[in-house]
Structure 1
Amino acid sequence: MKKAIELTEQSNSKGIQVQIAKHLDGKKIARAEWVREGRVPLQTLRAKINYCSYTVRTIYRVLGIKIWIFIDEE
């Protein structure tokens, strides 16, 4: 998550939100952790927000990663 935020700060974006979900830290329950830097207005219709979702396979488990990047409002 920290690397994604560092790479986004180098671009001209105004904010980023990164969410990782599934079984974290060896816990039996599924949960999600997220980090936000800057502004990410998800409810504003005219805001330009790029979204992507990835499934990452590690040697221990499968994680779901979602990333929202706020570029600018019109």
Structure 2
Amino acid sequence: MLGIGKGFTGRCEVVKPRRRGKRHWLAEITARIVAESLQPGVRVVDFAARNDILPHHLLGWCRHARQGLLALPTN
């Protein structure tokens, strides 16, 4: 039996794509993301990670929605 008791001898590499530059979000997409994030029980940190958004960007969008600067969808 090969490798028993010797541990891992291979190579493991994790490659994560880099973001380049500033991303621009359409108002409709931003509004949908904000509306979904405002559902009961949703944690901003978890929701932002799942949607590849920085938490402070999401919180800023939520602030804009509260101030009436971002219209949320009426579903």
- Name the TM tier (shorter chain): under 0.3
TM-score between both structures, scaled by the size of structure 1: 0.21
Give the structure with the larger strand fraction: 1
Structure having the higher Rg: 2
TM-score between both structures, scaled by the size of structure 2: 0.21
